[in-house]
Amino acid sequence: MIVCEAVVSAALCVLVAAAAKGTGEPKPVFKMSPVGTVRKAEGATRLEIEPAYAKALKGLDGFSHVVVLYWFDKNDTPAKRGILQVHPRGKRENPLTGVFACRAPVRPNLIAMSVCRIEAVEGRVVRVAGIDAFDGTPILDLKPYIPAIDAPKDVRLPDWLKR
């Protein structure tokens, strides 16, 4: 069994997985540095990519949407990381559900994801619509949205989500 702990700073996100005591398992270390920052101002949202990663945007302008992976940094407390079940969308009428079965912002590792419409790619800035992130949120990665890969056809949803 491996237990994970995350440490977040403005410049660096380090995930350290420590082996279960006495099992002899290796201790893998995962190191992630933000590739950019979400910027929101005057009704517009920009994904500002760090200069070191600007070349990674080449070709993104050919896509209509981008999957943005980011860190819920403003929601990071040990207590919130320990919440494993919630009423989805904060509605008590929804059944108590595990955080791996919903999109709750409280979870063991605060990785978030939004699919955003790309409005423009300008230098190292991607203007987008539709992200559920605050100004200053660290971006972990961007991936192009590809319907054949990202939108399976045989989707099943629980009743509470269909309402």
pLDDT digit string, tens, across residues 30-52: 888 999 999 999 999 999 999 99
Output the pLDDT for position 105: 87
Residues 23, 108: Cα–Cα separation, whole Å: 22
Output the pLDDT for position 103: 87
Q: Are residues 14 and 90 in the same domain?
A: no
**What residues are paired with 127 via a beta bridge?**
46, 120
Structure-token pair, residue 39: 């910027």
Give residue for tokens 């979870």: 107
Residues 23, 42: Cα–Cα separation, whole Å: 53
**What residues are paired with 4 via a beta bridge?**
17
Output the pLDDT for position 12: 31
Domain membership of residue 107 as a residue range = 34-152
Here the CATH number for the domain that contains residue 38 is 2.40.30.70
Element (H, E) at 161: helix 159-162
**Quick check: is 157 in a domain?**
no
Q: Are residues 136 and 111 in the same domain?
A: yes
Output the pLDDT for position 8: 37
Structure-token pair, residue 107: 């979870």
Output the pLDDT for position 22: 53
Domains in the chain: how many in total?
2
Output the pLDDT for position 146: 95
Taking CA atoms, 162 is separated from 76, 93, 156, 157, in Å, by 30, 13, 10, 7
Output the pLDDT for position 23: 64
Give every residue of the chain whose pLDDT is below 50, as ranges: 1-21
Output the pLDDT for position 14: 35
Q: Are residues 58 and 132 in the same domain?
A: yes
Q: Are residues 46 and 5 in the same domain?
A: no
Where helices occur in 21-83 by DSSP H, the ranges are 78-81
Q: Are residues 47 and 107 in the same domain?
A: yes
Answering whether pTM is above 0.95, one says: no
Q: Are residues 135 and 56 in the same domain?
A: yes
